[in-house]
A = this chain, B = another copy of it.
C-alpha cells in the first residue's frame, strides 16, 4: 500500500539508525513528502484507537512565521538555561575538540537558526480527560513514527518539548484551544553535514528479568553498538 518498490531501508535498520537531527538544509519539504511522513505517523496506536493527536505544520505561512519566531526565542532561552545549569562549557567541554564542546556548538547553531527550519510540526493532544503522566501513550508513538518515516524519506528531525515557555503565546497565534495539550515540537528537514551514530546505555543496564533490578543475562548488545549514558547504576 505504501511502498510499491522494495525499500532501501529495512524496518530494524531504520529503528537502529534514526537519530536526532538538528542541522538542516534550508530546502522546503515537498507537500507529498509531508503527507507521507504524517500518514505513517498516524498509523501509530492510541488508547481505544481514539487517535487524539493533531499535527499543526508550521512552514512559512503568516501564523507559522510568528510561531517559529516565538519558538526560536523559547529554544534559545531553554538552551542558554540548560547550558548554564549543566555547565556545558566546563570540564571536558573546555577543550574545543571534545565531544561536549562540539555538542555545545551544534546546539547553539540549532537554536540560532530555528526560524530557518523548513518545517516544524507541533504534535497536539486533543485530551479526553484531565492531563495525566500516561496520556503521552496515545501521542508520542505517533511522534516516533513521524521521525522514523522522515528518516525513510531521507529527512531528519528531533523531538523536543521546549515550547513550554511560549505556550501561552503560541495558543492565540495558532488558534490552539486551551484544553488541547502541546505534546511536542518537532523540527524537520534534510540533514546537513554528517551526524554521529545512535549511542545508548548498555542494554543490560535498562532491561530486567522477572523483577526490578534483576539482571537479564540475555540482554546483550550486538557487536558494534555505541554507548552513551553509561555505565551507571541502573537503580537509585
Contact = CB atoms under 8 A, between A and B. Distances in A.
A158 B45 contact: yes
Given A44-B144, A175-B211, A225-B1, A206 B16 contact: no
B45 A20 contact: yes
A7 B1 contact: no
A157 B93 CA distance: 43
A10 B8 contact: yes
A23 interface: no
B42 A16 contact: no
Interface in A34-52: 34-36, 38-40, 42-45, 47-51
A76 interface: no
Contact of A201 (B42, B135, B159, B176): B42
Interface string A173-186: 01111011101100
A134 B136 contact: yes
A20 to B, nearest CB: 6
A104 interface: no
Interface string A201-229: 10100111111111010111111110011
12 contacts: A1-B225, A2-B13, A2-B222, A15-B44, A34-B219, A39-B203, A51-B206, A59-B210, A61-B209, A136-B137, A137-B184, A141-B159
